[in-house]
C-alpha cells in the first residue's frame, strides 16, 4: 500500500470520527425542533467540511510528489561534470634544459686575393655550391698580357741558355784536344824534335781555352738563373690569374653576397659568406652540477623558440674540459641530427638533454595533479564518486608526469573539472581520454632525425 493511499485512509478516518461526534452532540442537545429545522443546513455544511479536507489531502500529496521530483533533480544538479584520463605505463626521461642559438658547422668569409674589377657574379644568396666552384670572375686581361710577355721572355732565356751550354761543350772538347796535342809536343820537345816556342804556343792556347770555358760556365749559370727567375715570374702571373676566379673553399650555402659586377675588388676584401649547414650545432652553458649529469653521446631534443611544436633530435658532441671562471658554467656542444630546413643558423632554440630514462613508469596528464599545502593529490573516479588521493610525483616530460606512489595503472583520474570537486563528490563523466589520445597530446612535437 502506497504512502498516498495510507494518507487518504487516515484523512477519511478522521472525517468519519468528526461526523460521529457531531451526530452524538446533535441528538443529545435540547431543542430538537430547532435542531430539526437546521438539520438540512448542518448536513450540507458537514458534507462541505468533509470535501475540504479531502481536497487539502490531494493538494498535499501532489506537493509532496513535486518536492520529491525537485529533490531528485537537485541531486542530479549536484553532480560535477568532469573529464577523465586513464593512468598508463610508459617511458619517461629526465631533462636538463637550456637555451642557445644555432650555428653552422663552419662559416667563412670568401675574400678576394688580388685586385681587379668584378666581371661576373655566378651565385646568389641561398645557392648551394660545391667545393672549388667559381663564385665570381675578375677582369684578367692585363694578367693575360703579362703572362704572354713572361712566356716569351722565358722562351728567349731558355734559348740563350741552350746556346751557352753548346759553347760550354765545345770549349770542353777544344780543351781536351789541346791537352792531348800539348802532351805530344812535350814528348817531341824532350827528343829535340820541336822547338820550345811551339810548346809555349800550345800551352798559351790551352790556357785561353780554359779561360773561355770558365766564362761559358758563368754565362750558363747566369742564364739558368734567369730561366728560373722567369719561370717563377710566370708562375706568379698564373697564380694571380687563377685568383681572378673566386672559388668556394668547401661545399656549402652562400649566406651573404657583398659584391656587384663592375665593382673594383681589393685584395683580402670579403666578397661572400659561405656556411656549411651539415651539421648544425648549439652551444649551451650548464652549471657545474648540471654538467656532471651529462656525457658525450647523451640524446637531446631541440625545439624552435618561435614554435615549440617543431623539434629535432640531437646528441652531445663534446663537453668543454674547463669551467668558465666568470660564469661558473661549462660549455656543452650539441650536434643537431637530421636535416630540417626549419632549423637555420642563428635561430633561437630550447635544448633538453636527457640525463636518465625510466621505462614502465606510471604516467598521467600533468593537469590532473593538484597541490595544497605542499601535498600533491589527484581525484580518482570510483564509479561516479570522486576519491581524493595523495600521490608522489617523479619526472615530467611534455604533458605527462610520472606517479611514483598513490596510483596504479588503469585507474581513472580527473583531468578537467577537479577545481569544483571535494572528496566523495558525485561525478558526471563528460569524456574519458583514451591512452592513445594522452600519448598523442604528450608527443605533439614534430621530431626530426634519428
For 294-320, give the secondary structure using H, E and C.
CCCCCEEEEEECCCCCEEEEEEEEEEC
pLDDT higher than 80, residue 330: yes
pLDDT higher than 50, residue 114: yes
Quick one: pLDDT at residue 272? 95
CB under 8 Å to 373, separation ≥6 — which residues?
none
Quick one: pLDDT at residue 405? 87
- Identify the helix (H) or strand (E) that includes residue 173: helix 141-190
Q: pLDDT grade, residue 335 (50/70/90)? A: very high
Quick one: pLDDT at residue 44? 39
Candidates 405, 413, 407, 408; CA nearest to 382 is 413
Q: What is the mean predicted confidence (pLDDT) over 406-431?
A: 80
Confirm whether pTM is higher than 0.85.
Answer: no
Quick one: pLDDT at residue 251? 93
Quick one: pLDDT at residue 260? 92
More confident residue, 39 or 338: 338
CATH number of 113-138+246-268: 2.40.50.100
446: which DSSP letter? B
Tens digit of each residue's pLDDT (9 = 90 or more) over 143-160: 899 899 989 999 998 898
- Average pLDDT for the chain: 80
Half-sphere exposure of 331 (CA within 13 A, CB side): 11
Tens digit of each residue's pLDDT (9 = 90 or more) over 84-99: 888 888 888 777 889 9
Architecture of domain 81-90+358-442: Beta Barrel (2.40)
For β-strands 427-433 and 80-86, DSSP reports them as: parallel
Candidates 324, 312, 317, 314; CA nearest to 286 is 324
Tens digit of each residue's pLDDT (9 = 90 or more) over 56-69: 545 555 555 555 55
Q: Cell digits for 101?
A: 642559438
Strand partners, 363: 88, 402
CATH number of 98-104+279-356: 2.40.30.170
Quick one: pLDDT at residue 373? 82
pLDDT higher than 80, residue 428: no
Strand partners, 218: none
Quick one: pLDDT at residue 40? 44
For β-strands 116-121 and 392-397, DSSP reports them as: unpaired
Q: Cell digits for 346?
A: 642563428
Tens digit of each residue's pLDDT (9 = 90 or more) over 185-243: 888 878 878 788 887 888 888 888 888 888 888 888 888 898 999 999 999 999 999 99
Tens digit of each residue's pLDDT (9 = 90 or more) over 32-56: 444 444 444 444 343 444 445 544 5
Amino acid at each position: 500500500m502506497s504512502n498516498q493511499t495510507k494518507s487518504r485512509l487516515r484523512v477519511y478516518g478522521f472525517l468519519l470520527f468528526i461526523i460521529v461526534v457531531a451526530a452524538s452532540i446533535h441528538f443529545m442537545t435540547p431543542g430538537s425542533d430547532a435542531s430539526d429545522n437546521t438539520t438540512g443546513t448542518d448536513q450540507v455544511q458537514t458534507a462541505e467540511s468533509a470535501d475540504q479536507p479531502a481536497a487539502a489531502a490531494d493538494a498535499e500529496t501532489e506537493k509532496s510528489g513535486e518536492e520529491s521530483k525537485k529533490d531528485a533533480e537537485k541531486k542530479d544538479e549536484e553532480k560535477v561534470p568532469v573529464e577523465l584520463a586513464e593512468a598508463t605505463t610508459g617511458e619517461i626521461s629526465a631533462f636538463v634544459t637550456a637555451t642557445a642559438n644555432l650555428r653552422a658547422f663552419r662559416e667563412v668569409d670568401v675574400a678576394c686575393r688580388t685586385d681587379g674589377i668584378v666581371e661576373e657574379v655566378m651565385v646568389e644568396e641561398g645557392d648551394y655550391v660545391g667545393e672549388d666552384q667559381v663564385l665570381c670572375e675578375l677582369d684578367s686581361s692585363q694578367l693575360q698580357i703579362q703572362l704572354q710577355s713572361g712566356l716569351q721572355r722565358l722562351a728567349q732565356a731558355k734559348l740563350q741558355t741552350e746556346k751557352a751550354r753548346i759553347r760550354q761543350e765545345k770549349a770542353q772538347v777544344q780543351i781536351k784536344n789541346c791537352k792531348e796535342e800539348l802532351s805530344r809536343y812535350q814528348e817531341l820537345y824532350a827528343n829535340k824534335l820541336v822547338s820550345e816556342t811551339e810548346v809555349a804556343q800550345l800551352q798559351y792556347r790551352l790556357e785561353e781555352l780554359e779561360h773561355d770555358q770558365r766564362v761559358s760556365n758563368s754565362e750558363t749559370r747566369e742564364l739558368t738563373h734567369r730561366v728560373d727567375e722567369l719561370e717563377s715570374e710566370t708562375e706568379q702571373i698564373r697564380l694571380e690569374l687563377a685568383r681572378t676566379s673566386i672559388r668556394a673553399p668547401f661545399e656549402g650555402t652562400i649566406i651573404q653576397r657583398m659584391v656587384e659586377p663592375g665593382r673594383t675588388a681589393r685584395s683580402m676584401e670579403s666578397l661572400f659568406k659561405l656556411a656549411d649547414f651539415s651539421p648544425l650545432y648549439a652551444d649551451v652553458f650548464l652549471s657545474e652540477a648540471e654538467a656532471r649529469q651529462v656525457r658525450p653521446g647523451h640524446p637531446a631534443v631541440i625545439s624552435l623558440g618561435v614554435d615549440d611544436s617543431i623539434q629535432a633530435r640531437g646528441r652531445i658532441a663534446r663537453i668543454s674540459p674547463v669551467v668558465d671562471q666568470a660564469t661558473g658554467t661549462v660549455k656543452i656542444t650539441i650536434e643537431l641530427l637530421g636535416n630540417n630546413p626549419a632549423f637555420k643558423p642563428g635561430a633561437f632554440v630550447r635544448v633538453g638533454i636527457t640525463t636518465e630514462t625510466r621505462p614502465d613508469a606510471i604516467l598521467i596528464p600533468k593537469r590532473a595533479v593538484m597541490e595544497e599545502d605542499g601535498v600533491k593529490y589527484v581525484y580518482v573516479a570510483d564509479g561516479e564518486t570522486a576519491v581524493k588521493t595523495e600521490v608522489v610525483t617523479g619526472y615530467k616530460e611534455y604533458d605527462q608526469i610520472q606517479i611514483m606512489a598513490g596510483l596504479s595503472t588503469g585507474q581513472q583520474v580527473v583531468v578537467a573539472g577537479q577545481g569544483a570537486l571535494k572528496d566523495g563528490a558525485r561525478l558526471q563523466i563528460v569524456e574519458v581520454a583514451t591512452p592513445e589520445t594522452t600519448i598523442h597530446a604528450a608527443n605533439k612535437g614534430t621530431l626530426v632525425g634519428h
